[in-house]
Every structure is written in structure tokens, then in C-alpha cells.
Structure 1
Amino acid sequence: MELYFGKAIKTLGPSLVTGVGVVLEVTVIGFMGAIIIGFLVAIVKMSKNKVARWGMGVFVELIRGTPLLVQFFYIYYVLPLLMSNLLKAVEIDYNVQISSVMAGIVGFSVNYGCYMSEVIRSAIVSIDPGQREAGLALGFSEIQVLIKIILPPSFRNSVPVFGNYLVMMIKDTSLLACIAVSELLLRTQAYASQTFLTIEAYTLLAVVYLVISVPLSQGVKMLEKKMNKFSRS
């Protein structure tokens, strides 16, 4: 059996380079959104309001209890229909549409945000309560204590875990092909179906993912070692 990797690299390569841009766009924006949502969820779950804690707990369990792929489908296909019907109920005739890329960003932000919220909450709880009391004694408000005293070391301790989630998110972008996002997998599928260079196309796809994820994983490990040394010193 003769393989044509040179042809695949020459013809599919440029398309995959463009696909890498889509992957990075969705990953970066989705990751930033996940951190923000994770922080907000963690704060609500630590609040003194029992109703808010219960409601947020139910929401988190719903997200964690359903697959990410199902959430992508729901955001892309179902959510626009629900929003359009709600608008029609108040006599506003508007057809809501969500782009596939936006659906992917929202899905990543919400899904990973719910998982990262527990990391953030644990990091905040691990901070010595004496630091909070000292900040309040110095005249800082609760918000100032949270922002200036508690959050900096909390996020510093969470950086290695966040790095692992970032690597996972990059690999999970392959799921976006199911909602027509023109990322790496969808481009490879289209190319393989047109040229029948199945082995070459999917091997090249795997190599591209490795080129992205392996250096990033090594960087996360190096960062984790530096953080451990910093925490010990």
C-alpha cells in the first residue's frame, strides 16, 4: 500500500494551519470565560445565602451531569429556539441565531467554568483565615480583602491546574466539528472524504494536535515545579 504523506501535507497542511487559528481563538476566549464563570460560581457557592448556594449547586450538577457534546448541541440548536419562542411570547418577532463558534465558546466557558469553580473555591478556602482577619483589622472591606489578599495567592496556587484544563480544552475542540465549526477535525474529515487519503489525513491531524498539546503540557509541568519551589521558599 502506497501512502502519500507529502501530498497530504502540501494540500491539507494550509487548511489545518487555518484550523489551528480557529482552535486557538475558541480555546483562549473560552478559557478566559471559564475562569470568570468559575470565579463567580465559587463566590456564590461560598456565600451565606442558602437559596443562592442551592440554586448554583443545582446548576453545577446539571452541567457536570451532562456531556460537553450534548451541551454544544443544546446551545447551538435548542437555546436559539427557546429564546425565539420567549420573544414571540412577548410579541417580539425575532429569530435568534447563535453562530457555531459562539456556541463553542459559550459551551467551553460554562462547562469548564463549573469544573474550575471547585478548584478556585478550594484554593480560596486553603488561605489562612488569619490573613482575612488581618486585612479587616487594617480597615479593608470584604471586597478589598478578597481582591488584594485572598485572590492573588489563590490564583497562584491554581495556575498548574488551570494549565491542565487548558490542554484538555484544546483537545476537546475536536467536538466542535459536530456543530459545524471549521476546526481541525472537520477540515480533515472533508479532505479525507474528497481525496480518500484517510490514513495520511488523520495521521497529520494527530500530529498537529500533538504539536500543540505536548509543548503546552510540558510547559504546565515546568510551571508546576516552579510554583512548588516558590511555595516552599
Structure 2
Amino acid sequence: MEILSNLDFKTAIQYLLPSLIQGLWIVLEATVFGFLLAIVLGLLIAIGRISKVKILRGVLVVFLEFIRGTPLLVQLVYMYYVVPLLISIIIQIWSPGYQLKISSLVAGTLGLGINYGCYISEVIRSSIVSIDSGQTEAALALGLTNKQVLSRIIIPQALRNVVPVFGNYLVMMLKDTSLLAYVSVSELLLRTQSYASQSFLTIESYTLLAVFYLILSLPLAQVIKLVEKRIQKFS
């Protein structure tokens, strides 16, 4: 009870909140660019998975299993510390002394995009497969090529059908940006850890952080629900 009576949320709000607001832009940047990358990558992987090229399908299956079989945090650390070293070693074959350097934010955004892109690809692929094959047959009968059928008929329908799932993944990615603290990105969690270690306001700091994430995610979830209703209305 003595600990509860000594809580100082006023001080935490006064000094930590401005720092969290500054970190918000980093979180939004990582979320927006990471999610765009995830959608593009997911669409490309989904198309590759339904292609007739067996080697391509095999490579993509191995890649998907690797990503889905390892934790996101491990992937972020690998992307930040290991991938630049591997690329540098390869390039040094032609250019000795070359050292690739990427910022922690870029590495974190790439890691988020690749991880979520793999999961999104399965959602898109399932949506593509579920579309009535009669539409493809009718379009081909009208003279459209396979590429035209895929780009003009199949993919637009598939993407529209999975928008609700996209919304859920977007909210999840927003919250998973907290993992970027482990690759030295100055986002919300890292700022909170730094302030808590200096001020010893542990309960107040992490409570404020949790409330801050809640304020971000709840309105976003409501916006996604409105978008879902609009799509269902016009579908």
C-alpha cells in the first residue's frame, strides 16, 4: 500500500508523455512503410505460390516456413546485425573493403514488412483460390490473357475480400513496433525504458506506455470496422 500511495503519475505524464509523442512518429513511419511492404511482398509471394513454376513454388515454401517458424524478434535482430554483414561479405568479392550500413529503423521496418508479408501472402493466396474458376474461364473465352485475368479480375476481388484481415494485421503491426526497441530504434518502449531507469517511476512509466498504445490501437480498430462495413455495403 505504501508503494501505491507514493505513485507519481503527474511527473511521469509531464516528462515522459512529450517523449512518447515524439516517438509516435517513428512508430507510425515503421507501421505505414512496413505494412505497405507487407502487402506488396504478400501479393508477390501469393502469385508465385499459384504459378506453374515448381522451383519458384518450392523456394517460396521454404522461405515461408523459415519466416513462420522463427520469432519476429529473432528476425528483427538478424535483419539488423547479420544481413548487412552477409551482404558486405558477398559484395567484398568484387569490391574489397565494402561495408553495408543500414539504420536500425530501416532494418526494423524491413523485418516487420517481411514477417507480415509472409502471413498476408497466405491470406491473399487463399482468397485467390476461393474465387470461382468460372470467372477465369469466361474471361479467357472473351479473349483475355492469363495475366489480364489475374490483374483485372482475380486480384482486385481477392484484395477486396481480405481487407478485414488486412485491418487486423495493421493493428498487430502497430503493437509489434514495440519490438523495434531491441534493435535500438528510439520508439515508445525504448523511450519508456530509458525514462523509467532514470526516474525510478517504473509503475507509472509502463502504465502510461500501455495506455498510450491503447489510445493508438482502439481508434484504429474502430476505423477498420467502419471500412469493413463500407466494403460489405458495396460488395
Q: Shorter-normalised TM-score: what interval? A: over 0.9
Structure 1 position 229, deviation (Å): 4.6
Length-normalised TM-score, structure 1: 0.95
Counterpart of 1:8 (choices 12, 19, 30) is 12
Q: 1:174 aligns with which of 151, 174, 178?
A: 178
One-letter identity of the residue aligned with 1:98:
I
Question: Are the aligned partners of 1:37 and 1:110 in contact in 2 as well (CA < 8 Å)?
Answer: yes
CA RMSD of aligned residues (A): 1.3
What is the alpha-carbon distance in structure 2 between the residues aligned to residue 183 and residue 140 of structure 1? 49
Q: Distance in 1 between matches of 2:64 and 2:96?
A: 31
- For residues 1-233 of structure 1, what are the structure 2 equivalents within 5 Å? 1-231=5-235
Whole-angstrom distance in 1 between the partners of 2:96 and 2:166: 42
Q: Which residues of structure 2 form unaligned runs of 5+?
A: none
CA–CA distance in structure 2, aligned partners of residues 87 and 126 of structure 1: 43
Contact 1:87 1:93 in 2 (8 A): no
Shift of 1:99: 0.8
1:109-149 CA-to-partner distances (Å, cap 9, x unmatched) read: 11000000010001111111111122222222222211211
Segment drifting more, 63-72 vs 121-130: 121-130
The separation in 2 between residues aligned to 1:91 and 1:20, in whole angstroms, is 39
Q: CA deviation at 1:22?
A: 0.5
Offset at residue 226 of structure 1 (A): 4.1
Q: Classify the secondary structure of the residue corresponding to 2:92.
A: helix
Shift of 1:228: 4.1
**Structure 1: runs of 5 or more not aligned:** none
Q: CA deviation at 1:225?
A: 4.0
| Bigger Cα displacement from structure 2, 139-148 vs 42-51 | 139-148
SS at match of 1:89: coil
Taking only the aligned residue pairs, the percentage that are identical comes to 60
